[in-house]
Amino acid sequence: MVPILEARDVTKRFPGVLANDRVSFSLQQGEILAFLGENGAGKSTLMNMIYGLYTQDEGEIEIRGAPVEIEDPNDAIELGIGMVHQHFQLVPVFTVAENIVMGIEPTRFSFSWKTLGLASGVTALLFFVGGIFALSNVGEWLLATLAGAAAVAVLYGLAFLLGTLSRFGFRVYFPVIAVLSFVLFAGLTFALDGSQWNLALILLPIFFAAASYPLVREITTALDRRAASQRIRDLSEQYGLAVDPDALVEDLPVGVQQRVEIIKTLYREAEILILDEPTAVLTPQETEELFEIMRGLVGQGKSIIFISHKLKEVMTIADRVIVLRNGRVVGETTPTESSEEELAEMMVGREVTLIVDKGPASPEDVVLEVTGLSAQDSRGQKVLRGADLFVRAGEVLGVAGVQGNGQTELVEVLTGLRPATAGSARIMGQDVTNATPRTISELGVAHIPEDRQQDGLVLGFPIYDNLILNTYYQPPFAIGPQIQFDTVYEYAGRVSKEFDVRTPSIALPVHNLSGGNQQKVIVAREFSRPIKLLIAAQPTRGLDVGSIEYIHRRLIDKRDEGVAVLLVSVELDEIMALSDRIAVMYEGQIVGTMDTGEVTREELGLLMAGASLEGEPRNGTNGETPDGTVGATPGGAEGGDSVG
């Protein structure tokens, strides 16, 4: 069988980097082909060439056995290739339908018989009313009324004719209108004064034909919103992608936004879908829904390239797996012929420990204490509802919960990025409620943000600047108002090597780094200064297995050095592997806190869903207080099912 897509010896070079080195692969129709590799292994670069965002330096690409040149995404779309990027390409203030049809909007002729009747009727009425005051008898009034309506009808008919002709394109419209205009101008000229041929008689029709085309197209063409919405509903039903075409994208959960991106490719009749890290921002439930959608698409003949760092997902959904390392294909296998450990070793080039190696914690004094903390989201809705927790030096407190239950807002309040509306937060006994980010940072608080690109980096700045974003004004990087660039360069070079930031130069803008290396820049910056408290939000989101192993080890090292670690993650495996205690968030509250060794995954799942464990309070922190005694359980949201 001829592959629907085949790449042969594809090579791509950037200054100082060989991103892809003679990569070859094939994709069969109705297949899910997974690409695994470390951050920076060349997966996204390869896919960007398939989609036309880059062009290969060497090699060739074939679609259904025929060589093709893909110079831009328009070429890829015409060949039936669609791509869903890791960072969604959507306009938040547009509706679902507007985002999907952008660039290929269905249009309709904006003039109709209803419009003609309305315009003629209004004009006739105005002429009739005017005739009452200006004319002497009823006959003249009626004649004026008919003349006004007729004039509108003639103008409407002319616009209708021009508009209809314009829908055949400029190549048809221009010569036809130029000839008709010439006949009309010539006839008028000879009828009025018998003039002979002149240059204006030739130029005016040509000018009118050329100049009128864009105006006519603008006036007579309208977006056919009804057709767009119906087409989107049909695709939603056909492929099981439930979306509301009229909803604003900014109001949709991340999982639904991803459905919009998939429908956008299907709307353009894509037969090959490239999904670049599609689960990086999804909850476990949304991930499972995505897998069902993928199976449905493949069942209807679509072919999918699935890029991921997550071994379990690849083993679950892929038909074949190709592993890239340092821009080269180092292995090809199937989930039935391999294991997670073997895939991890192929990715990294060494044996990878998938289980976190950590000893028992030795917690000491309380570093962070949160009492009754409340906050609102950007729309004024209360999303943090009296949260209570504490973290001690030398321990990891993991905050588990389904995304959207207040974890993001909790971290933002604790780091000074969002104001609290009630309650308090204390660090080393000092009240930091609504303190500035700089004040909190100077107390020895490190922050790994949930969105590294929005809150953790200045993407246009070089690596060396991003490594000192929170210390650039302090010695040894600055003396008075003057930055000591030699010191900055030496420091940046040293910590880049120490934290394995893979880059040809520390002067490279950080947006040129892979997601994993961007995360390493943040970790290097935050861990390379004295800290008392580490707040890590989704620290391994979108990272490969090697980078995950590295960051997990660094987090445990900090715990063992006596740092208090607050870990927020939607990855339940990560929470259970790293945490000494686990606090579960539901609807903006801490609904339970327990030692990791005393709770099962199933019990955590119940708490995350809003249920309660037998004999435990529905709300609060299990009655535990920072001194280890049993106290009053803080109140919270009412309700909840009791599960025995």
Please tell me which residue, 130 or 259, carries the higher pLDDT value.
Answer: 259
What pLDDT, on a 0 to 100 scale, did the predictor assign at position 632?
34
| pLDDT confidence band for 626 (50 / 70 / 90) | low
- For the segment 257-288, what is each residue's pLDDT rounded down to a tens digit? 888 988 999 888 899 999 988 876 676 677 78
Cis ω for the linkage preceding 481 (within 30 of 0): no
What pLDDT, on a 0 to 100 scale, did the predictor assign at position 347?
86
What pLDDT, on a 0 to 100 scale, did the predictor assign at position 517?
86
**Among candidate residues 321, 348, 375, the one where a domain is terminated:** 348
With H, G, I as helix, E, B as strand and everything else as coil, classify residue 482.
strand
Instruction: Provide the strand spans (E) within 200-337.
Output: 221-223, 272-276, 303-307, 320-325, 328-333
Q: Indicate if 303 and 166 belong to the same structural domain.
A: no
pLDDT of residue 488 exceeding 50, the answer is yes
What pLDDT, on a 0 to 100 scale, did the predictor assign at position 637?
36
Long-range contacts of 619-622 (CB under 8 A, 24+ apart): 619/589, 619/591, 620/388, 620/589, 620/590, 620/591, 620/592, 621/388, 621/389, 621/583, 621/590, 621/592, 621/593, 622/592, 622/593, 622/594
Q: How far apart are CA 67 and CA 98, in angstroms?
A: 34
- How long, in residues, is the chain? 644
pLDDT of residue 248 exceeding 70, the answer is yes
What pLDDT, on a 0 to 100 scale, did the predictor assign at position 642?
31
- Report the pLDDT averaged over residues 68-83: 93
CATH of the domain at 630: 3.40.50.300
Q: Which of 374, 366, 412, 369 is nearest to 635 (CA)?
A: 374
Look-up: residue for tokens 């909803």?
247
Highest mean pLDDT among 73-77, 284-288, 514-518, 563-567: 563-567
pLDDT of residue 643 exceeding 60, the answer is no
Is 338 inside a domain boundary?
yes
Tokens representing residue 615 in the block: 């004999």
Instruction: Evaluate whether 52 touches 79 at the Cβ level (below 8 Å).
Output: no
Is 314 inside a domain boundary?
yes
pLDDT of residue 487 exceeding 90, the answer is yes
**Mean pLDDT of all residues belonging to the chain:** 83
- Report the pLDDT averaged over residues 599-604: 84
Q: Indicate if 435 and 360 belong to the same structural domain.
A: yes
Question: What type of residue sits at position 244?
Answer: D
Q: 165-169, 175-179, 273-277, 533-537: which has the minimum mean pLDDT?
A: 165-169
- For the segment 300-317, what is each residue's pLDDT rounded down to a tens digit? 999 999 998 788 889 999
pLDDT of residue 123 exceeding 70, the answer is no
Is 66 inside a domain boundary?
yes
Q: How far apart are CA 322 and CA 281, in angstroms?
A: 23
Instruction: Evaluate whether 391 touches 367 at the Cβ level (below 8 Å).
Output: yes
Could you give phi then psi for residue 499, rounded to 5 degrees? -100, 15
Look-up: residue for tokens 């009754």?
372
What pLDDT, on a 0 to 100 scale, did the predictor assign at position 619?
43
Q: Indicate if 422 and 564 belong to the same structural domain.
A: yes
Q: Indicate if 278 and 219 belong to the same structural domain.
A: no
Is 282 inside a domain boundary?
yes
- Report the pLDDT averaged over residues 423-446: 96
pLDDT of residue 150 exceeding 80, the answer is no
Q: Residue 320 forms beta bridges with which residues?
A: 33
Give the containing element (helix H, strand E) for 175.
helix 170-193
pLDDT of residue 358 exceeding 90, the answer is no
Q: Indicate if 48 and 197 belong to the same structural domain.
A: no
What pLDDT, on a 0 to 100 scale, did the predictor assign at position 58?
95
Q: Indicate if 369 and 312 belong to the same structural domain.
A: no
What are the C-alpha distances in Å from 400 to residues 81, 378, 404, 464, 594?
38, 23, 11, 34, 11
Q: Indicate if 124 and 204 belong to the same structural domain.
A: yes
pTM for the full predicted model: 0.65
Q: Indicate if 159 and 45 belong to the same structural domain.
A: no
| pLDDT confidence band for 404 (50 / 70 / 90) | confident
Q: Which of 86, 572, 5 is nearest to 302 (CA)?
A: 5
Please tell me which residue, 485 or 176, carries the higher pLDDT value.
Answer: 485
What pLDDT, on a 0 to 100 scale, did the predictor assign at position 633?
35
Range of 435's domain?
353-444+530-644
Q: Indicate if 277 and 145 belong to the same structural domain.
A: no
Please tell me which residue, 246 or 425, carries the higher pLDDT value.
Answer: 425
pLDDT of residue 621 exceeding 70, the answer is no
- Report the pLDDT averaged over residues 600-619: 69
Is 36 inside a domain boundary?
yes
Q: Indicate if 169 and 148 belong to the same structural domain.
A: yes
Tokens representing residue 481 in the block: 């108002």
Please tell me which residue, 508 or 198, carries the higher pLDDT value.
Answer: 508
What pLDDT, on a 0 to 100 scale, did the predictor assign at position 26?
96
- Report the pLDDT averaged over residues 114-122: 61
Instruction: Evaluate whether 155 touches 183 at the Cβ level (below 8 Å).
Output: no
**Among candidate residues 198, 223, 248, the one where a domain is terminated:** 223
Q: How far apart are CA 450 and CA 565, in angstroms?
A: 15
Q: How many structural domains is the chain composed of?
A: 3
**Among candidate residues 348, 373, 401, the one where a domain is terminated:** 348
Using a pLDDT cut of 90, give the percent of the chain over it: 45
What pLDDT, on a 0 to 100 scale, did the predictor assign at position 258?
84
Is 372 inside a domain boundary?
yes
Question: What type of residue sits at position 491?
Answer: Y
Q: 109-118, 454-463, 572-581: which has the minimum mean pLDDT?
A: 109-118
- Report the pLDDT averaged over residues 25-46: 90
Q: Indicate if 213 and 72 belong to the same structural domain.
A: no
What pLDDT, on a 0 to 100 scale, did the predictor assign at position 192?
61
What pLDDT, on a 0 to 100 scale, did the predictor assign at position 76?
94
Q: Hey, how many other C-beta atoms are within 10 angstroms of the C-beta on 316? A: 13
Is 201 inside a domain boundary?
yes
Is 250 inside a domain boundary?
no
| pLDDT confidence band for 641 (50 / 70 / 90) | very low
Q: Indicate if 311 and 363 belong to the same structural domain.
A: no
